[in-house]
Amino acid sequence: MKKRIRLTLQRLIGNLFAGTFSSYMNALHGLEFDGIRQYQAGDDCKAIDWKSTVKTGKLHVRMKFVDKRATIIFVVDKSRSENFGSFILTKEEVQSAILFTLVRAASEAGNEVGFLTFADRVENFIQPKVGEKEALINAKNISQERTSGSCTDLHAAFTFLNEKILHPALVFILSDFLAPYNYEQSLKTLSLLHEVVPVIVSDRMETALPHSNGFFMAQDMETGSTKLLDISTAQAESLPYINLLRKLNIDYISLLTDENEEIWTKKISELFDKRIRRGRRRRR
Poorest-confidence range of 12-16, 159-163, 261-265? 12-16
Q: Residue 172: which region, alpha, beta or left (left: phi > 0; alpha: psi -120 to 50)?
A: beta
pLDDT in tens, 221-247: 555 566 655 555 555 455 789 999 999
Q: What is the pLDDT of residues 44-81, one digit of tens each?
A: 787 788 888 898 999 888 776 555 678 999 999 999 88
Q: What is the pTM of this model?
A: 0.73
Task: Give 119-145 pLDDT, tens digit per residue.
Answer: 999 999 999 999 999 999 999 999 998
Q: How far apart are CA 276 and CA 8, in angstroms?
A: 8
Q: Which residues of 176-193 are buried (b: 16+ CB within 10 A; e: fewer)?
A: bbbbeeebbebbeebbee
Cα gap 215→72, rounded to integer Å: 44
User: Span 256-265, mean pLDDT?
Assistant: 88
Per the CB < 8 A criterion, the answer to whether 18 and 69 are in contact is no
Answer yes or no: is pLDDT of 95 > 90: yes
So what CATH class is 72-204+251-276?
Answer: alpha beta
The reported pLDDT for the residue numbered 222 is 53
How do residues 159-206 score in pLDDT, each as one tens digit? 999 999 998 899 999 999 988 899 999 999 999 999 899 999 998 877
Determine the average pLDDT of the residues in 33-42: 75
Q: Is the pLDDT of residue 17 over 80?
A: no
Per-residue pLDDT, 19:
38
**Mind giving me the DSSP string for 243-257?**
HHHHHTT---EEEET
Of the pLDDT bands very low, low, confident and very high (cuts 50, 70, 90), residue 283 is very low
**Three-state SS at 217:** strand
pLDDT of 282 higher than 80: no
Pairwise pLDDT comparison (80 vs 10), residue with the higher score? 80
Quickly state the pLDDT bin for 21 (edges 50, 70, 90): very low
Residue 218 has pLDDT above 70, yes or no: no
- Higher per-residue pLDDT: 236 or 93: 93
3 pLDDT more than 70: no
- Residue 205: its pLDDT value, please? 76
Cα distance between residue 43 and residue 228, in whole Å: 69
CA distances from 246 to 6, 77, 83, 196, 243 (A): 26, 21, 27, 13, 5
8 Å CB contact between 125 and 160: yes
pLDDT, residue 185, reads: 96
Task: Measure the CA–CA gap between 96 and 102, rounded to whole angstroms.
Answer: 10
Whole-number Å distance between alpha carbons of 129 and 282: 31
Other Cβ atoms closer than 10 A to 3: 9
Q: Does 281 have pLDDT greater than 80?
A: no
User: In the chain, which residues fall in CATH 3.40.50.410?
Assistant: 72-204+251-276
The contacts of residue 192 (CB under 8 Å, 6+ apart) are none
Cβ–Cβ < 8 Å for 206, 88: no
pLDDT digits 0-9 by tens, 145-163: 887 777 889 999 999 999 9
Q: What integer pLDDT is reported at residue 123 of this predicted model? A: 93
